[in-house]
Amino acid sequence: MNIVRVYSGDDGESHFQVVTPEEFAEVAKRRGSGDIQLNERPSPSFSDYHTAPRRQYVVGLSGLSEFECADGTKYQMGAGDILIAEDLTGHGHIARGLGDEPRVLLAVPLAD
The whole-number pLDDT of residue 111 equals 84
pTM of the model: 0.80
Q: Which pLDDT score is estimated for 30?
A: 64
Question: What percent of the chain is modeled with pLDDT above 70?
Answer: 94
What pLDDT does residue 59 have? 95
Q: Which fold has domain 3-109?
A: Jelly Rolls (2.60.120)
Q: How far apart are CA 22 and CA 48, in angstroms?
A: 32
The confidence band for 34, taking pLDDT boundaries of 50, 70 and 90, is confident
d(CA 61, CA 34): 20
**Which residues are bridge partners to 59 per DSSP?**
82, 106
